[in-house]
Structure 1
């Protein structure tokens, strides 16, 4: 079967190209974070906890923009790996407050360095202005996609 122009054009759409870039970034990041015991999916949780932006499973799921069951599974793995700890909420015994362990706090700065290094290497050949513009454009794209998903 021969692909027509329309079929080939779909491989040049922003959605397809962004998806390919995201998968490549994820593979690169996973490889760099493996030695620290972090997965790329852990990063939003680690950052939210470190910066005090969330401390419950529900808040973390909202922050990371993933479903509650997926967050629950991730938190189980992170607890098993010694990266988080849970303590019962004194005001609501059904909930737990989640915090980083000393292990996670110690490893997080190195993880950030490795991720920034990987991003820098991936952006070789781009000017600072182009990188800033890409970040702005991707932010707008994400806002549009969030809006579409919430309509």
Structure 2
């Protein structure tokens, strides 16, 4: 069974993701952020004022997970939710000034985590790894992959 763990892309990707998350958490926790909040902020920093459904699709998370994350972010003063002008069922998610001000510090923390995690790779290896990960993610997002 050990060979499976050392050769399984899924096992290794999951393990690597958990280690990245732990390292990221240590770096963003002083800012008052959790990894799920950081991922949500990454989307909102690029596209403020979108629906919860749009956020959920960007992040590939379940509706309940997204709802819980947004509830915590609203409680922590990172977002506000406002009614959608044309869709009475939808609410738009907006960043607060507090969340906008966290951007540089949070991105620096994430870059530091990436630098440590990928420190043993050359620049070309890092670029290749990221490219391969993007391709695998794209493949798994196709309708027949899940």
C-alpha contact (below 8 Å) 1:78/1:84 kept by paired residues: yes
Count the aligned residue pairs: 143
Q: CA deviation at 1:54?
A: 6.0
Distance 1:54 1:44, change over 3 A: farther
SS in 2 for 1:93: coil
Q: Which runs of 5+ in 1 are unaligned?
A: 1-6
Q: Looking at both structures, which has the greater relative contact order when contacts are Cα pairs under 8 Å and sequence separation is at least 6? A: 2
Q: Which runs of 4+ in 1 moved over 3 A?
A: none
Tell me the C-alpha RMSD between the 2 structures: 1.4
Deviation string, structure 1 residues 9-60 (Cα, Å, up to 9, x no partner) = 1111222112111110000001111111111112232122221276111111
Distance 1:146 1:90, change over 3 A: closer
Q: Which runs of 5+ in 2 are unaligned?
A: none
Q: Does 1:103 align with 2:98?
A: yes
Rg (Cα) greater in structure: 1
CA distance in 2, matches of 1:30, 1:45: 14
Q: Paired residue for 1:92?
A: 87
Q: Does 1:69 align with 2:64?
A: yes
